[in-house]
Structure 1
């Protein structure tokens, strides 16, 4: 069951210090929208332009300012000027203003009167319960004019600002302060159409053609391809069970030959439940990498789609002694403190660009997320939005606002996150139990992931009969085809090479426990185990 609503806490209570598991201010764990907004600079109505400063708590203004990293911007980014048409929107706040200036279509010609969506009722979060007991929320065309809502279709379906709708900017700003509480004053949020698009925007804003960026040696392939298409190759840093190894990062940057290319300063990381390896950086590892970012003056792009899918340590059935203790967090504060601190929460300089997304916790097809960084950099990224994607889909923003703000609120959204964390933990455990049963340990090994959606299998290719006659890529494909022959699909480790031409002595395959029905997932692992036995010439498993 989701945790009960957190108890009220005195708004004067002090936040935990920087060495604590969470940097969440104590008063924000109340998670009551009214109290949070009563303590913000902005209190009432909806701003014409959604800037994060309007929606932060008053205590944010006591923090120090960030450093200025705009000197790192490319000529393309520096050259962008504010859109005159977008800037003209500020005049619409004048009473009695009649607009004949903008190219906004009349909402009278939008062929939608309302949109209704069925969402969870109360704490009934299972798919069966949502289907059976769904609460219908409706977004009308003129709800704002009629005093029914803070957002409606007449606004959502028209052109908006490069920040995204002020309604969603308000919500993500509040959420960011609740969860991460950036330790400097001038941070801001900008809506995006998802993290892949946001990273491409970062590459174009900071890397000129021919520049390199830093990544894990095995990295999200879409991020690597986004860079390659722009003429920006990745520099892969070696990894261990906690992801990027700080000593190797320091070594690569300290010995960088600037005659070859400019020393890279943009670093792309998925610190939690990394794709593809499933590794999660602990708090100390993040502090070490952040310290190196300060030493080498790096900008960290913190891509965190799996941040809330952090799980308890896996305990095999053989070691559990039949115990089934429920370790689900019982309060919002307990849940937030259980999360590994983000780079954003420890960023005293403003050198982190955090990418958040609803893709893994609500729906990928929403194509809606946001980034958080210093307001100076946010302003440049907002200008990029204005001439490219403009903003996420109005339908998506309106539906998400209705669900997250008006129906759930921040507290119930955290309840939902606790729920899906528990669901994914069970899925992980099911896959791990199947691995223990079916995967031959003589030729494959794995580490139980602490977050995310992926299992990363190290294949002992040196034990394969074709090891001496085929190179790694050829041998990987032979094993991959053996798995396909068993009608199961895994991902090749080579698909995720940050440096495809680099030295890669080890072989990996990636599986996900996110999609398949649990029975099909167990059967898939059984078939994978069979494929390994066939390919390596091992005896069949006796069942």
Structure 2
């Protein structure tokens, strides 16, 4: 993740050279902005992504592959919105518009919007309540030169890209963290990753197609594609997530007649803190899977809501917690490299979201992909979701741009890393204390919100006696757990592929929201449920 140690110089022609620029850093953001000039973006303004990236910053990189052969007929048929294109002319000096169907901001019943947010470095709920800063967006701040974004602009219709003001921040953040290694990458806003997933599948998949994902996966993804007539193939996993060898084997041995569908080319994957397993792919696993994607010409949908919930190493129940990263640079270096950061072909669409790091109700995120794919996505958005909520955009702009800046946001991410590390350690400590380890096992999660508990159902007396199936035992545990006053999710609910028999049993717990003492108590109750279902209490009592 560090900048290059030396400046490289490449030949431009036989008689001249050009210098490869250093990658964007926190220190060079302001310099780039000064060079590119002030963002002058009013109502429905177009976003100049190339200017936000820096005019010459990426010219030394290769261009992305074209994906015409993979796009659906629907995606290829999309045309730009004539009305949205016309709205771009609103910035013409002296123009009197009688064209667009935009209501006058005079009739927006909001004069200003104020939010109270944490001071940098004082992120606790109590500190924010007592010492937080109130930031305010006025109705005409842009015209009055008080801010780059205001109520009159944000609350009006906008482009499918989202506002130029906030998109610039997203572009810079993406470059700071991932520095995509090809030239024509781009970003555009989404109405959260769930919406982005739906739109991406419509762009690439048609009825009768298959997509690939982890063996256990996010149910909403499965429930999104099946009504489209698209089937899901589950790729076997281990403690590090999807197995690269299993993916290669699945593709190599694909039988179109047996599967009743063509060999899949879309891979949906959650590489970090995967839902439901909590697995995080190490760098080499990601590089191996990317190489297989190149081998089979796959397109990767990298869904990363938990990317910044990567935690400090787990050192055991009785070990002191590791200290936080010492600097922004150390924090960025500690992150497992993303698929986007190794994508030399432009074969990755990455979904980023504020849902897990700021607030799910913002319904605001962004995708990063090649300009060709982002252009198709924007056209789809213009006729469906339009842009993300202007109210959400304005609130996040005031927080991320006008108040925190990139440095403050990284400080916030370090803060929530430490908070989630403490939560993860709490649930692991409770598991060590309460759970019967002869029938329950687990791998400490490195990221995310979920703890994946494997149950050895073969030790259930009714299974040994061939009186109950694995599914019946799973139901029994689930209902007994509810009876004991706690809720964990059945692993079978997360199984991606239909018609494939399982031979493993899991339950998913989350440590994201409950108070620390409640996490401990919930695991204690779950342990009681397991002991009762497996007859361990009776066995223990009989030994006294």
Task: Please give the TM-score of this superposition, normalised by the length of structure 2.
Answer: 0.93
The CA deviation at 1:27 is 5.5
Deviation at 1:59, TM superposition (A): 1.7
Aligned to 2:498: 500
| Residue in structure 1 matching 2:219, options 202, 221, 235 | 221
The equivalent of 1:21 in structure 2 is none
2:176 is aligned, of 158, 175, 178, to 178
- 2:365 is equivalent to residue 369 of structure 1: yes
Match of 1:3 in 2: none
Question: Which of residues 27, 37, 54 is equivalent to 1:43?
Answer: 37
Flag the 1:11–1:235 CA change in 2: closer, same or farther, 3 A.
closer
**Partner-residue secondary structure (3-state), 2:113:** strand
**8 A Cα contact 2:207 2:229, kept in partner:** yes
Shift of 1:45: 2.4
Match of 1:4 in 2: none
CA contact (8 A) 1:29 1:333 kept: no
1:70-81 matched pairs, under 5 angstroms: 70-81=68-79
Deviation at 1:253, TM superposition (A): 0.6
Write the deviation string for residues 116-162 of structure 1: whole angstroms up to 9, x where unpaired: 00000131001110111110001111110111110011111111001
State the 1:210 CA deviation.
1.5
* 1:420 has 2:416 as partner: yes
Structure 2 residues without counterparts, runs of 5 or longer: 9-20
| Residue 298 of structure 2: aligned partner | 298
- Residues 474, 464 of structure 1: alpha-carbon distance in 2 compared, 3 angstrom cutoff: same
2:425 to 425, 429, 432: 429
Tell me the distance in 1 between the aligned counterparts of 2:392 and 2:305: 18
Counterpart secondary structure, 1:308 = helix
- How far residue 35 of structure 1 moved from its aligned partner, in angstroms, is 2.4
When the two chains are superposed, the root-mean-square deviation of aligned CA atoms in Å is: 1.8
User: Do 1:352 and 1:373's aligned partners in 2 also have CA atoms closer than 8 Å?
Assistant: yes
Deviation at 1:70, TM superposition (A): 2.7
* SS class of match (1:60): coil
Aligned residue runs from structure 1 range 234-383, under 5 A: 234-259=232-257, 260-318=260-318, 320=319, 323-324=320-321, 326-383=322-379
Structure 2: distance between partners of 1:474 and 1:26:
59
Post-superposition Cα deviations, 1:186-222, rounded to whole Å, max 9, x if no partner, equal 0110100111110110110100012110000000111
Structure 1: runs of 5 or more not aligned = 1-8, 16-24
1:84 aligns with 2:82: yes
Q: Deviations over 1:265-307 (max 9, x none)?
A: 0110000000000000000000000000000000000000111
Give the length in aligned residue pairs: 519
CA positional deviation for 1:32: 5.7
What is the aligned partner in structure 2 of residue 132 from structure 1?
130
1:26 shift after superposition: 6.2
Question: Which residue in 2 is equivalent to 1:104?
Answer: 102
2:511 is the counterpart of 1:510: no
Q: Hey, what's the Cα distance between the residues in 1 that align with 2:32 and 2:489?
A: 44
Q: 1:158–1:394: 8 Å Cα contact kept in structure 2?
A: yes
Judge conservation of contact 1:243–1:281 (CA < 8 Å) in 2: yes
Q: 1:481 aligns with which of 455, 475, 479?
A: 479
309-318 or 474-483, larger mean C-alpha shift: 309-318
Aligned CA distance change for structure 1 residues 132 and 13 (closer, same or farther; 3 Å) = farther
| SS state at 1:433 partner | helix
Q: CA offset at residue 262 of structure 1?
A: 1.2
* Structure 2 Cα separation of the partners of residues 11 and 218 of structure 1: 39
Are 2:233 and 2:496, in contact at CA under 8 Å, matched by a contact in 1? yes
CA distance in 2 between counterparts of 1:160 and 1:217 reads: 39
Residue 392 of structure 1 corresponds to which residue in structure 2? 388
Aligned partners of 1:129, 1:239: CA distance in 2, in Å? Answer: 42
1:149 aligns with 2:147: yes
Offset from partner CA, 1:401-431 (integer Å, 9 cap, x none): 1100110100110000000000000000011
2 CA distance for matches of 1:287 and 1:202? 23
Deviation per residue, 1:144-186 (Å, 9 max, x gap): 0111110011111111001111111111001000000000010
TM-superposed CA distance for 1:14, in Å, is 4.9
Q: Tell me if the contact between 1:29 and 1:332 (Cα under 8 Å) persists in the aligned partners.
A: no
Q: Distance in 1 between matches of 2:245 and 2:5?
A: 42
Partner of 2:459: 463
Supply the distance in 1 between the matched residues of 2:63 and 2:134 (Cα, whole angstroms).
Answer: 44
C-alpha distance in structure 1 between counterparts of 2:236 and 2:23, whole Å: 40
Tell me by how many angstroms 1:11 deviates: 11
Counterparts of 2:334 and 2:459 in 1: how far apart (Å)? Answer: 40
Alignment correspondent of 1:445: 441
Taking structure 1 as the reference length, the TM-score comes to 0.93
Q: Which residue of structure 1 lines up, in the alignment, with residue 11 of structure 2?
A: none
Displacement of 1:465: 2.1
* Cα distance in 2, alignment partners of residues 328 and 282 from structure 1: 20
Question: How far apart in 2 are the matches of 1:143 and 1:469?
Answer: 72
Indicate conservation of the 8 Å contact 2:118/2:133, yes or no: yes
User: Cα 1:304–1:201, aligned 2, differ >3 Å: closer, same or farther?
Assistant: same
TM superposition shift of 1:80: 1.0
* Secondary structure of the corresponding residue to residue 446 of structure 2: coil
Shift of residue 79, structure 1, vs aligned partner:
1.0
